[in-house]
Amino acid sequence: MGRAELGQLVDREGLDASSGSRGRLSIAVPAAWARDGADIEITVPPRVSCDRCDGGGCDGCARSGAHRTPADAAARTLRLRLPADLADGVTLRLVRPFGEHAPLDQLLVELRADSAASPGVRRVAPPPADALARSSTAGVRALGAQLSTPVVLAALAAVATILGLLLGR
Ligand SMILES: [Zn+2]
């Protein structure tokens, strides 16, 4: 794992040893999203497989091999920022991903780059660099529009002055 541990991880051994429920979700995102460090939203399925037994059934999942997530889709929608390098795959560990009162203690989200995003995964914000580029371009355009009117008026004034001089002569 090493550098891949980018999540809200403070005490890895403590979290690994925790007897609480731990689900696992594997999703794909386009590599370009990761390069942009994009924010994504994941609508987690109503059930995720148990990370402790990989679906085989254990004490952590009451032998079901899976954990339920909140029934309401909005309540099981997570937002997170992609790490820039997904080349080797990255696993984020989310602690209490659905809040203190939801049954799931931890959710491991395995991210990998692919040609398309998994169902339920969408990009929610443009990368900051793009937004900055767009806003500064717009700013320059607005400035240009503001500048052009006085410049034209000044040119007209000069012409009028010259005409006035010519006519007055
Ligand atoms: Zn289990």
Which tens digit of pLDDT belongs to each residue from 75-90? 999 999 999 888 889 9
Tell me the per-residue pLDDT of 104-149, one tens digit each, with 9 for 90 and over.
999 999 999 999 999 999 999 665 565 556 555 544 444 444 445 5
In angstroms, rounded to a whole number, what is the distance separating the alpha carbons of residues 86 and 91? 10
Tell me the per-residue pLDDT of 9-43, one tens digit each, with 9 for 90 and over.
456 666 776 778 999 999 999 999 999 889 999 99
Phi-psi category of residue 37: left, alpha or beta, with phi > 0 → left and psi -120 to 50 → alpha: left
Taking the centre of ligand 1 as the mean of its atom positions, its distance from the CA of residue 26, in whole angstroms, is 16
Closest C-alpha among 97, 116, 85, 120 to residue 24: 97
Taking the centre of ligand 1 as the mean of its atom positions, its distance from the CA of residue 154, in whole angstroms, is 78
Taking the centre of ligand 1 as the mean of its atom positions, its distance from the CA of residue 23, in whole angstroms, is 8
Taking the centre of ligand 1 as the mean of its atom positions, its distance from the CA of residue 25, in whole angstroms, is 14
pTM of the model: 0.66
